[in-house]
Structure formats: structure tokens, C-alpha cells
Amino acid sequence: MSTTSTTSSGPRFVARRSEDRGNADHGWLKSFHTFSFAMYQDYRFQKWGNLRVINEDRVQPGEGFGTHPHSEFEIFSYIVSGELEHRDSMGNKEVLKRGDIQLTSAGTGIRHSEMTHGNGPVHFLQIWSVPQKNGLSPKYYNRHFTDEEKRDKFVLTVAPVGSEGVKETRDGDGPAPVQTQLRLYATIISPGSSVSHTLKGASNGTSDSKAYIHVIQTSGYNEGKATGALVKVNDNLNLSEGDGAFSQGAKGETITIENTGDVPAEVLLFDLE
């Protein structure tokens, strides 16, 4: 898709409103789709750079996604609330909680399941990215970032393999390694505060840079117009919970997100090729 400018200079933005996302309510699963997925197909929203899927999922207790295959995708889960049990064909079994990011580099192929754990529902974002190279061996990574770490600052939670500070260990600190040019930053912005990010630019030497902003729907499931936390992007684009925005700019340009509401706003920012 193309973007149209909302400012006379700096990055250009196009809002992706929460109520316009694909939506599926299966009872046991309530899901929003930023991009075409399953029964929701819209040629305008197939991917953005190497970002292919952002599903905001809520799964009821005792339910989930049974064992199924994946290949040639980088798949990661950002846990918002509740507990999610992950099992896969690599022998990994783990219960993921608030603040966890689990990344599966599916490579030549894996099988996994994701089920709720405990007595409550789980709310998480399922994110897929297209790898820069096919035929790689599958790998699994898990990282944890506290709310305090994310308070009023961007924390780098996922970054390309080989980047500074990225460790290719199953567990540990620092961002999870991804086999694509994607950086995922997370923040929790207090009312009246703001955070800023300088676009990294593409790795191929050009100055082009894409980004995507997503405001997590933390206050509850809502199929209608976005409510809850309210932020303003670069002084001119208002977003609320569930809203997102496509951005296109140049290396060195800045995205600033200000919390203009009265409750904390949990925001993800993807810096892409």
C-alpha cells in the first residue's frame, strides 16, 4: 500500500483504525487482523515491508490453537495478559506470561501448539515476519521485559540476527534475534509523557524506512471505534487502543508518540525495511 502525508515534513502516516481491522469472534477466540489472515482477505492489507501478520488475540480458558505446522516465517508472541502454554516439535514446552516475548524461527518447518494456561483467558499479539533467507534451521527464543523497563521509553525487544546486543541464545537478556530486518520496540507511556524513536533506515544502503505503530487494546475487547488510552503521533495523528498507523520516512527522521489521555498507553513500534 502507499502512504499519504499527514505532515509537511518528516515521516508520512496513514491510520489503520481498530474498527476497520479484520475481526473474528469464534466464542473461544476473539481476534483482530491488521493484515489479511484466514477468512479475512483485503488486497490493500497484505503486508508492510517484511511485516506480514499482526493478530490481536483473546483466547478463553481451556482453549487455543492445537498442533499445526509452519515454515519460512518468523513468528513471535507478545503476551499482554494471562498465560499461554507453548509446545513445539523442537521439544520446547513453556508457559508464557505478561512481559514475555516468544520467538519461533520456523525455518524449514516446525509444528507447535499455543493454549491458554491456568483458569483465565490470555490476551496476546501474534506477529509474523518474512525471513530474509529461506532454508534455515528452526530455532526458539524467549525473552522477558518488565513494565518498569518499558515505562516512558522504547525498549528494543526483537532485532535482526547479528545486530549489536543480540544474543543467539534460547533464553537471556536483550532483544530476541529475528532472521529479517525488523526491530520491535515496546513502551508503556504515562499520561502527559512522550517517547521518541529515530528511524534506522534500510540495510541495503538506501535512506528509505518503513514503520508500523500499534496501540494495544489493553482496556478490553471492543469491536467498535477505538476507546481507552489515547496518543498523538508527531503532533497531528490521534490514535487510541487497537488503532495503528503505517509510516514511511527516511533514515534519521523521528517518530514521537505522546500520551494525551488519562491512562497509560502500551504501544508497539516496528522499524522495518
Which residues are annotated as part of the binding site for Fe cation? 68, 70, 112, 114
In degrees, to the nearest 5, what angle opens at C-alpha 202 toward C-alphas 101 and 172?
Answer: 25
DSSP readout, 209-263?
A: EEEEEEE--TT---SSS--SSEEEETTTEEEETT-EEEEEEETT-EEEEEE-SSS
Cell numbers describing residue 67: 498442533
Binding site listing: 68, 70, 112, 114
135, burial (CB in 10 Å: exposed 0-12, middle 13-18, buried 19+):
exposed
Q: Are 52 and 128 in contact (CB under 8 A)?
A: yes
What is 3-21 written as a DSSP string?
A: ---SSSSS-EEEEE-GGGS
